[in-house]
Structure 1
Amino acid sequence: MKDHFKDLVVKHDQPVVDAIAAIERGPTQIALVVDAENVLVGVLTNGDIRRFLVGGGQTSTPVHECMNRKFHALPHGTSREELLKLFDIGYNAVPLLDELGKLVEFATPDFFPPAKEVAVLSRARAPVRISFSGGGTDLTYYFMKNGGVVLNASIALYAHATLIPSAGPEINVISHDIDRHEHYPSLRALLDNPDKGLLSSVVSVIRPDFGFDLFVHSDFPVGSGLGGSSAVATSVVAAFNELRLDKWSTYEIAELAFQAERLCYAISGGWQDQYASAFGGFNLIEFDGKRNLVHSLRLEPATSNELEECLVLCNTGIEHNSGKIHKQQREDFNNNVDRSQQLLDMVDLCRRMHKHLIRGDLNDFGTSLHEAWTIKHGLSSAISGNTLDTIYKAALDAGASGGKLLGAGGGGFFLFYVQPRFRSAVSAALKAHGCTLSTIRFEQEGVTSWRTKVA
């Protein structure tokens, strides 16, 4: 039994005089009577004692001879709301009992049994992005010398992370997307593993001081070109961030995700994906050797709504390896293969598309996607291929104003801009080539995290 009410408790066979002493010790003027098993069998108030003594009772008589057996008690765990209502209608104390009737707590208006702290888990979800222009200029080896800029938007497809802390040091990392389960007896074992997956690479950057189970799943296929691996890394960073007292900023979340994915897990690529996933919404992102800056764009609702209606997301079903393509592009750069003009053209196009977008000139914006495709097509032979070129040509022949491969290229998703009168024809042409189509819904929020109780 709890210390705060132990002085109010008397055994049923103790004398009445002991109950009087217990009543005097407590502010509620109530004695609690229990049997040998600590089951609450009655209560005594000053009024009960007075009536007993006036009737000829003796202070040496056992308490059970005069106790009140008709008392109001509630199960331990009764909600605060229910107790408040009882006190508000006049009760000044309520015993709380376990399933055997044993006294566990004694609730009064100025003391409520503290709620037992339960285990919590954290969840996070991070959106993927569609990139309109500027891809390639967000690569460090390029923008350190020339500066870079990209234009992108997050969409309502997410990577989901669930983090369940545990009392012990063991770590379990489970990716449902690739059906991979990594188990480590400790953080040290994870850090020493040379074959860590992406999720464990994120953990190695964060280095938490507790054991946990981490579960991740996504709304999009692997190799989509939507920046999926970055969304996964961002969601995991945010799940850990939710448990911190000193939260990382959105920039820091993006940087940690970049560190884990690009440096620790060694997937070659640029910076835009992590920022897009962390910040969300429409962004113009500028890169240089010192500070990357994310400029959030405020579009007229009519502009974003119309853009959603005119864009078609096309899954080619062709897997691609963005890291391999980026690696080849870097080798070309190191071998002095001159792509500078294409990248300068990409920056110029990105600036123009930014202006089209914020002014709501969507037809010009859609046509500019074709320019983005043409420029990107010239960056590497691995970006496109016969099948992808055929799919793209079929969409334009059917009426699409423009389009581009998302991500590094080589497969994954196309993005097409299609005016309403051509949508049916374009859809039919793409489906005829085995593509799967979906609409786009923009996501204005970036990575989101929250806590909940472990069931």
Structure 2
Amino acid sequence: MIISRTPFRISFAGGGSDLPAFYRRTTGAVLSTSIDKYMYIAIHPFFNKNKIQLKYSKTEMVDHIDDICHPIFREVLKMYQLSGVDLNSIADIPSGTGLGSSSAFTVGLLNVVRAYLGKATSGEKLGQLACDVEINKVGSPIGKQDQYAAACGGLNFISFYGDETVNVEKIIMSPNKKKKLEDNLLMVFVGGEHSASTLLENQSVAIGDAKKFETQKSMVRLAYQLRDSLENNLLDDFGRILHEGWLMKKSLTSGISTGAVDYVYEKGLRAGALGGKLLGAGGAGFILFYCPKEKQDDFRAQMGGINEMKFHFDDFGSKIIYVGDRFND
């Protein structure tokens, strides 16, 4: 058996500029980090070498790769013409909650399948392969940031270019300031699940409008501002940048926010948060708040009964965490 562990991500600024509707016109950029919530995928030989067994939210057993219902499983196994295997996935967080779970699944699957075949793979190569699977082979109308965030891990500034290349740049901060940033972030679950593909497809269409395109460009400028602030170990602007970016994102298209999301967000600002944003494409999931640690007890008291998820930054990206004896022979 081989097991991969792939982190989920939270995006701070620039989201949406990783869509081709934007970066094919001008360079996109996002700033994000991976966190210690993970997708685990295990692979081992199936006792029936002529079949494939898959276990995720449901179980599939098929004779041929083309019979697989799950599109990502199907396309990855087709890439490597791999059968006679049993694949199982489990995640710390449900899908559709804005943490990039679909891309973490794709990255983790590619990593574990390639390891099973004896192929070592860099983070950026995994990101590139995952984009090819999700965007080109499956045809999902999504961007590229989640794949690279999950594959490479850490706190990154990721740029997207019109020639389809991607550059991942590590944000270098003092350890004390990075820990303070982590301590000042709170994540609150507001419930529900969303279809990221539908929301991102609508956002791609919206970017075609000149005013919306300029709004998206302003969101990219915020990503650059945030990068500069963090690399100078300044956190003063973090809450403001999150807040400005969230207001811009909401203006792009309907469905990104809801009445319930707006209610929790405004309540959080009144409770002491300096800014925040709904994570992911929108509609549901987690709100990330920037609230100084010394104000967090009051924040929790005023919010009353919130569903908070504790987390820490992840620095490593997708990893192979277990290789059974059979693969050491």
Which band: TM-score by shorter chain?
over 0.9
Q: Distance in 2 between matches of 1:333 and 1:299?
A: 33
Identify the residue that residue 325 of structure 2 maps to in structure 1. Answer: 453
Question: Is the Cα–Cα contact under 8 Å of residues 128 and 155 in structure 1 kept in the other structure?
Answer: yes
TM-score w.r.t. length of structure 1 = 0.68
- The reply to whether residue 131 of structure 1 matches residue 11 of structure 2 is yes
Match of 1:438 in 2: 309
Q: CA deviation at 1:397?
A: 0.7
> 1: CA distance between counterparts of 2:59 and 2:302?
40
Which amino acid in 2 is paired with 1:406?
Answer: L
Shift of 1:302: 0.5
Percent identity, aligned pairs only, is: 31
* Structural RMSD (CA): 1.9
Structure 2: where are the runs of 5+ without partners? none
Aligned pair partner of 2:180 in 306, 310, 318: 306
Equivalent in the alignment of 1:162: 42
Indicate conservation of the 8 Å contact 2:16/2:203, yes or no: no
Residue 267 of structure 2 aligns to a residue whose secondary structure is helix
Superposed, 1:88-99 pairs within 5 Å as none
Output the CA distance in 1 between the equivalents of 2:74 and 2:59. Answer: 10
Q: Deviations over 1:54-86 (max 9, x none)?
A: xxxxxxxxxxxxxxxxxxxxxxxxxxxxxxxxx
Structure 1 residues 237 and 431: CA distance shift in structure 2, 3 A? farther
Give the deviation of 1:171 after TM superposition.
Answer: 0.6
User: Cα deviation per residue 1:177-209 (whole Å; 9 max; x = unaligned)?
Assistant: x2x111111xxx22255x43433333233432x
Q: Which residue of 1 aligns with 2:123?
A: 250
For the residues of structure 1 that align with 2:207 and 2:14, how far apart are their CA atoms?
17
Amino acid at match of 1:170: K
Distance, in Å, in 1 between the alignment partners of 2:79 and 2:263 is: 42
In 1, Cα distance between equivalents of 2:24 and 2:67: 32
Distance 1:318 1:238 in 2: 30
Larger deviation, residues 260-269 vs 165-174: 260-269
Q: Quick one: distance in 1 between partners of 2:239 and 2:4?
A: 33
Q: Which of structures 1 and 2 has the bigger CA Rg?
A: 1
Query: 2:217 aligned to 344, 369, 382, which one?
Result: 344
Higher relative contact order (CA 8 A, sep 6+): 2
Residue in 2 that maps onto 1:416: 289
CA contact (8 A) 1:202 1:261 kept: no
Counterpart among 14, 18, 27 of residue 147 in structure 1? 27
Deviations 1:7-27 (A, max 9, x none): xxxxxxxxxxxxxxxxxxxxx
Runs of 5+ in structure 1 lacking a partner?
1-120
Deviation at 1:366, TM superposition (A): 2.2
1:162, distance to aligned residue in structure 2 (A):
0.3
Q: In the alignment, residue 231 of structure 1 is paired with which amino acid? A: A
Q: Tell me the number of residue pairs that the alignment of Structure 1 and Structure 2 aligns.
A: 324
**Runs (4+) off by over 6 Å:** none
What CA distance in whole angstroms lies between the structure 2 residues aligned with 1:140 and 1:380?
Answer: 17
1:221 to 94, 102, 105: 94
